[in-house]
Amino acid sequence: MNLVTVSGPPSVGKTSVILKTIESIKNRGLKVGVVKFDCLYTDDDILYEKAGIEVRKGLSGGLCPDHYFVSNIEEVVDWGIKHGFDLLISESAGLCNRCSPYINGINAVCVIDNLSGIGTPKKIGPMLKSADIVVITKGDIVSQAEREVFASRVHSVNPKAVILHVNGLTGQGSFELSTLLFSEDDHITSLKGKTLRFSMPSALCSYCLGETRIGESYQMGNVRKIDLGKEQ
Amino acid sequence: MIDQITISALLDKYPFARTFLENNGVDPDGSGEQSLHDYFLSIDENTKEEMAIDPGHFISRLNEYISQMLSFLGETKSSVESLTILPGHYKTGEDERFSDLTIKKNEIISIVGPTGSGKSRLLGDIEWAARNDTPTGRTILINGKEPEKKWRYSSSEKLVAQLSQNMNFVMDLSVYEFLSLHAESRLITERESVIERILDQANLLAGESFSKDTPITSLSGGQSRALMIADTAILSKSPIILIDEIENAGIDRKKALNLLVSEGKIVLMATHDPILALMGDRRIVIKNGGIETIIETTEKEREILSQIEEMDKKIQSLRQRLRRGEVLTEV
């Protein structure tokens, strides 16, 4: 089975892109499954089911979604293998722009959209910078120049990635993406011994543990302070 | 030789040469039908001296300017001379019946066919430089050969640039800042002249003119389209332009096409508008996901085109008159 991790900020069109891409993959006679990771709520699983794709969802609730992802991905892979998928796609939202659920040796796709502003590629951390493939969506509604500028900004932060434009509504570009997501050479039988490409954000302060009160005396563990400049 | 062709032909080929001529004492519009060579012969030695023109030196600097500008603009002109589409098959699996279709640069090809007939798949095949590995089974050749890999995977060099009716500007920038940013992303060092050029061209295309300080998001529909077209013609590196229907709203479409073609682009235009469809040198008819036929625009059709252009002018003038608050009494 091949595993592909897809991530990107909320509402960029990850699910639409994956759905369109799976259509092309299915035409090649491959069996595809999806696992959707989210934080509080998602009904994207219904969209996958409607398209006849086997899907599971995981909600992290009060936990950091990517910590939740990495603690569960091994079981998810075992589930996928048991179901005889040729390709398993994990979809997760990079909620803090810092996380990346990418695993060394596993194809990693980051989805971002043209509307997010040209400063965005700089703002997104490893999720964009360490992806193998960057998919840019919503190119049909901005000018050619803005698409070119945006792609060049993406290129400047991740020169190694293949950058593709995909339209999640019409599916333009999704066939092309599908050709990059499955290879006979990329089969895995488990994730044992694999490592994350990038460490998750460090945490564990008192607020991670349920503290709600504000004030220095309640802050323990890993705490960092904002620099507001020196006052006279 | 650039000093042998007429000045207007020179400007058609290298519109940016206008700035050079203007800054070097030659009025580009005053002597348009003359070649530079004849122009220099026509002025006497005194005038030449007064204008500080040395024809030999002038031509050699102009040559240098053009070659620099071409490399700034990423149009070394040698890159994509032609695009060839080899047949694949219809959605039904039946083979397409055309033998092959070669489109040269400076050519305009219309694409006609019902919605959903496979226009965007054709574009997809070109963009991805298909090698019998897309759902249509078509093959794309560039300059008669199998395309280089960069056309598929490079982020800065895409084969196709797109212009469509639905596109908007979303950046919070003035026209000038926007063009600088685009020029910067293309690593163009002499930005000012390129920006000026784009702004001039955009204003030639738009009905109402705008300045470089206008925020791009507050441009009218026609102005936005004009700026997008001028910018794509002059600053985009992509050799092929796909236009998805440009309406008549406040923009001179004929000039727009001429601008794109004069910048050495291959223009593909998906349209339902008879004026646009007939402006093409040829048109591709798409049906059931396949290329049904390729029709060369006939002489008769060109006559028809001028007739419908007349009708179109009439409708435009009626629109203008209604706008001005007139009461119509005749067509």
The domain made up of B82-297 has a fold known as: Rossmann fold (3.40.50)
For residue B77, the model assigns a pLDDT of 45
* Candidate from A139, A144, A161 with C-beta closest to B232: A144
Interchain contact A28–B (C-beta under 8 A) = no
A29 touches chain B (CB under 8 A): no
* Candidates B120, B124, B236; nearest CB to A148: B236
pLDDT in tens, B63-100: 876 876 676 566 554 478 999 999 999 999 999 999 99
Q: How far away is chain A from the Cα of B164, in angstroms, using its nearest Cα?
A: 8
Per-residue model confidence (pLDDT) at position B101:
94
Q: Count of residues for chain B?
A: 331
Percentage of chain B exceeding pLDDT 70:
90
B125/A contact by beta carbon, under 8 A: no
Residues of chain B positioned with their CB less than 8 A from the CB of A149:
181-182, 185
Q: pLDDT tier at A19 (50, 70, 90 boundaries)?
A: very high
Structure tokens at A23: 């259509």
Contact by Cβ (8 Å): B139, B83: no
Nearest CA in chain B to A180: B153
- C-alpha span between A99 and A126 (Å, rounded): 7
Q: What is the mean pLDDT of chain B?
A: 85
* C-beta atoms of B156 and A140 within 8 A: no
Nearest CA in chain B to A141: B167
Cross-chain CB nearest to B170 (options A115, A153, A172):
A115
Closest residue of chain A to B172, computed from CA coordinates: A117
Distance of alpha carbon A117 from alpha carbon A45, whole angstroms: 29
> Cβ distance B253 to B280 under 8 Å?
no
Position of tokens 């402006």?
B279
- Give residue for tokens 């971002």: A112
Tell if the CB–CB gap between A144 and B178 is shorter than 8 Å: no
- Residues in Cβ contact with B186 at an 8 Å cutoff, skipping those fewer than 6 apart: A148, A152, B73, B74, B235, B237
Does B139 lie at the interface with A, CB-CB under 8 angstroms?
no
DSSP secondary structure letter of residue A199: P
pLDDT per position as a tens digit, B115-129: 888 887 888 899 888
CA B46 to centroid of chain Cα atoms: 41
Strand pairing of B160-164 and B240-244? Answer: parallel
Question: Which CATH number among 3.40.50.300, 3.30.460.10, 3.40.718.10, 3.40.30.10 corresponds to the domain A2-186?
Answer: 3.40.50.300
Task: Tell me the pLDDT tens digit for each residue of B99-111.
Answer: 999 999 889 999 9
Residue extents of the structural domains in chain B: 7-72, 82-297
Which of B243, B244, B124, B169 lies closest to A166, judged by CA?
Answer: B124
Helix (H, G, I), strand (E, B) or coil at B63: helix
Q: Using CB atoms within 10 A of its CB, is residue B82 exposed (0-12), middle (13-18) or buried (19+)? A: middle
Query: In this complex, how many residue pairs, one in chain A and one in chain B, have their CB atoms less than 8 Å apart?
Result: 83
Find where tokens 């460490």 sit. A199
* Mean pLDDT, residues A129-139: 92
Question: How far is the alpha carbon of A144 from chain B, nearest alpha carbon, in Å?
Answer: 6
Local structure of residue A161 (DSSP, 8 states): S
What pLDDT is stored for residue A132 in this prediction? 93
Whole-number Å distance between alpha carbons of B8 and B306: 24
Q: Which 122-181 residues of chain A touch chain B by CB within 8 A?
A: 139-146, 148-149, 151-155, 161-163, 170, 172-173, 175-176, 179
Best probe of the B interface among A143, A147, A180, by most B CBs < 10 A, is A143
Question: Which one is predicted more confidently, A122 or B270?
Answer: B270
Q: At what angle do helices B253-262 and B221-235 cross, to 10 degrees?
A: 10
Chain B interface, mutation test: which of A135, A144, A153, most B Cβ atoms within 10 Å? A144
Closest CA to B175 of B220, B215, B129: B215
Dihedral (CA of B94, B97, B100, B102) sign: negative
pLDDT on residue B49: 62
H-type alpha helices, chain A: 14-27, 44-50, 65-82, 120-123, 126-129, 144-157, 174-178
B223 interfacial to chain A (CB closer than 8 Å): no
Residue A207 CA to residue A221 CA, distance in Å, equals 9
